[in-house]
């Protein structure tokens, strides 16, 4: 099965065919950097990171662009309210660009902890003001936009396909727009391309219409097409941005260029807390930094970035993920089971080859099933289930001593491909730490077992039994075999 993705634009699963063979251009709406990231943000950026990883795994060259919104995102989607960053600067009694720098650094720190690959390009809205002014001028010249009192608005009635992404009808927009936000507009659904700045507004630039700043929707159109061209392959973002943000991007971009803006629209669903969307403005956001140190009333402990990433991928990117501490605990337990199997495999690669044809056959079958699930619109829950089916078979073979040497190395490489390269839950640091920990544990256990064997040779059964019982209390079982003792962990180690 070739890769199929659910295209919001057509509301169907479609075969994925790049605009340019072998190359993929992908744009995802990045964060508005006025606060620290929370688990809701993680759902979006982990989901699209997974897609980038899988596309590259399939041999495609991906240019991944994810912007930083540092101006123009107002507190009200109807072009009213304060700029979110200017508002945060006022609250913190500092400069807007200081707010931007602080939270941009914080965002990338959090994404690094989640093993989210850095985008190829991370353009800032404030760095593309000339291009945004140029696009606005063209839309005015072509009759799609008009100026009022220093602000410029896009006339949605001039773009006949407005609403094709979200299904909204122009005649229904009046009910969705605040009355006090439409004074300057010819139609309540019109949206701002450029906003007049009051004298006290700290973020403003010269323009043909006076001092002002760009509209939020305009920024993404400019940054995506500048680095990916038009049309490009994939535009991603949260489902909550489908309207008005993505709808407006389509209108202004296609009105300007007369060609399709993006071919595939992929939207991740939200994270909820007790059925309510997680968000800063709702006061129920669980910050990523707080989650990783356990500093939140809803958390019983701290969770690693790998656990949070795995927790997110246990649900499909288009499904709602309902947050709970119990779900994070379950994710941690599952990830620990996987890590325990990997540690045991690493030990067994140093042993002689064992009769493991059946395990290798299962591994081949499960790899194919894993990739088939990923080809079905990146179905991570099903893919992960195949990974754990394989793990059960591997653990069974390991317990019987039927997996070792090059066969164990081959299965280990498969885990690193599926769980590491594609899912990203085994980062290089995690694998290195795990391998180093396995080597240390192996050395210590050899020493302990040699001391126990020496006690048994002396018929000091009391000492030998005490060593065995002490190891069992630590979750380590020792099996005495004709070719010597072997050990394995029975408890999931964090």
Q: Give the per-residue pLDDT at 306.
A: 95
Q: Give the per-residue pLDDT at 485.
A: 75
Q: Name the β-bridge partners of 154.
A: 145, 191
Q: Give the per-residue pLDDT at 177.
A: 52
Q: Give the per-residue pLDDT at 150.
A: 95
Q: Give the per-residue pLDDT at 435.
A: 47
> Residues in the chain with pLDDT < 70?
77-78, 173-182, 281, 352-356, 427-443, 446, 475, 481-484, 486, 488-494
pTM for the model: 0.85
Q: Give the per-residue pLDDT at 354.
A: 64
């Amino acid at each position: 099965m070739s890769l199929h993705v659910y295209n919001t634009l057509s509301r169907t699963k479609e075969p994925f065919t790049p605009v340019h063979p072998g190359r993929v251009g992908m744009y995802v709406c990045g964060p508005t950097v006025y606060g620290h990231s929370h688990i809701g943000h993680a759902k979006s950026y982990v989901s699209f990171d997974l897609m980038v990883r899988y596309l590259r795994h399939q041999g495609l060259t991906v240019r991944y662009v994810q912007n930083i919104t540092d101006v123009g995102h107002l507190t009200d989607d109807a072009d009213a309210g304060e700029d979110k960053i200017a508002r945060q600067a006022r609250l913190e009694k500092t400069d807007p660009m200081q707010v931007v720098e602080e939270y941009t650094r914080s965002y990338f720190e959090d994404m690094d902890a989640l093993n989210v690959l850095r985008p190829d390009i991370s353009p800032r809205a404030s760095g593309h003001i000339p291009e945004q002014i140029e696009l606005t001028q063209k839309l005015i010249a072509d009759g799609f936009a008009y100026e009022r009192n220093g602000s410029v608005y896009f006339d949605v009635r001039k773009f006949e396909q407005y609403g094709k992404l979200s299904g909204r009808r122009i005649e229904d927009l009046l009910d969705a727009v605040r009355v006090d936000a439409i004074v300057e507009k010819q139609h309540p659904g019109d949206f701002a391309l450029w906003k007049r700045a009051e004298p006290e507004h700290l973020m403003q630039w010269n323009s043909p219409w006076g001092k002002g700043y760009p509209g939020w929707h305009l920024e993404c159109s400019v940054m995506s097409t500048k680095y990916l061209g038009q049309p490009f392959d994939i535009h991603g973002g949260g489902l909550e941005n489908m309207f008005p943000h993505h709808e407006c991007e389509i209108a202004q971009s296609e009105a300007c260029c007369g060609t399709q803006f993006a071919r595939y629209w992929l939207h991740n669903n939200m994270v909820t807390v007790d059925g309510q969307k997680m968000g800063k403005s709702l006061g129920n956001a669980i910050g990523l930094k707080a989650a990783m140190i356990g500093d939140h009333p809803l958390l019983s402990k701290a969770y690693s970035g790998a656990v949070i990433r795995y927790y997110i991928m246990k649900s499909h990117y288009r499904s709602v993920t309902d947050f709970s501490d119990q779900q994070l605990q379950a994710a941690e337990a599952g990830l620990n089971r996987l890590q325990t199997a990997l540690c045991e495999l690493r030990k067994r690669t140093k042993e002689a080859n064992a009769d493991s044809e059946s395990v290798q056959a299962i591994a081949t079958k499960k790899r194919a099933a894993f990739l088939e699930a990923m080809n079905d619109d990146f179905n991570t829950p099903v893919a992960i289930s195949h990974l754990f089916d394989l793990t059960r078979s591997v653990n069974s073979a390991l317990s019987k001593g039927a997996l070792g040497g090059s066969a164990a190395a081959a299965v280990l490489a498969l885990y690193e491909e599926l769980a590491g390269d594609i899912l990203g839950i085994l980062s290089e640091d995690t694998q290195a730490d795990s391998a180093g920990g396995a080597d240390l544990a192996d050395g210590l256990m050899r020493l302990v077992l040699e001391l126990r064997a020496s006690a048994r040779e002396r018929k000091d059964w009391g000492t030998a039994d005490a060593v065995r019982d002490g190891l069992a209390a630590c979750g380590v079982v020792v099996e005495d075999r004709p070719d010597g003792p072997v050990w394995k962990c029975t408890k999931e180690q964090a």
